[in-house]
Amino acid sequence: MAIRTIIKEGDPILRKVCRPVTEFGEKLWTVLDDMADTMRSADGVGLAGPQVSFLRRVVVIDVGDEHGLYELINPEITYRSEETQHVQEGCLSCPNRWGMTTRPMRIDFKAQDRNGNWYEVKGAEGLLAQAVCHELDHLEGKLFVDIVEEWLEPEEEQAK
């Protein structure tokens, strides 16, 4: 396992649409393990493939709940609540930039695990819903800076 370099805003790789994962095995498992280590070492709650130069539909998320690490391969959001949450957001690829965004309060999603088995999560809410939406945006070449409604100054970020 290794800490990978996190690609920063301005690099064109972050604007590319990722391709589906079709091969499940050692190479993928190494990338997933490295992504989890990289995310944790950077104090993040999520990391998507393109942020570490891996242009496949792969995401890791850990919001610090009882579930622990989520590995999402070829993920899809299958439901978004009409009810929304106005949340503070940042990104490991956009250091020292914080802003307020609007995300669904609740979502359902499905994904494959590291072995290719499909699973579904229903009723993900709050930070998990926000993180899944944020990371899946990365897979489409979108960044949170594209949807920020209000930028926060560093001292405001501390207070939120």
For the segment 16-65, what is each residue's pLDDT rounded down to a tens digit? 999 999 999 999 999 999 999 999 999 999 999 999 999 999 999 999 99
CA–CA separation, 53 and 135 (whole Å): 14
Which tokens hold the place of 35?
A: 């992504």
Evaluate whether residue 86 is within a structural domain. yes
73-78 average pLDDT score: 98
| Helices assigned H by DSSP within the chain | 26-41, 126-139, 154-159
Which residues span the domain enclosing 64? 12-159
Cα 64 → chain centroid: 14
Is 83 an active-site residue? no
DSSP 34: H
Q: What is the pLDDT of residue 1?
A: 74
> 103-115: per-residue pLDDT in tens?
999 999 999 999 9
Q: What is the pLDDT of residue 54?
A: 98
Sheet of 58-61: strands edge to edge? 46-48, 58-61, 70-80, 106-112, 118-125
User: Which CATH number does the domain housing residue 126 bear?
Assistant: 3.90.45.10
What would the 3-class secondary structure string for 16-27 be? CCCECCCCCCHH
| Domain total in the chain | 1
CA–CA separation, 14 and 36 (whole Å): 19
Evaluate whether residue 67 is within a structural domain. yes
What's the chain's average pLDDT? 96
Evaluate whether residue 35 is within a structural domain. yes
> 136-148: per-residue pLDDT in tens?
999 999 999 999 9
121-125 average pLDDT score: 97
Predicted confidence band of residue 160 (pLDDT cuts 50, 70, 90): low
pTM assigned to the model: 0.95
Candidate list 9, 83, 120, 135, residue with the active-site label: 135
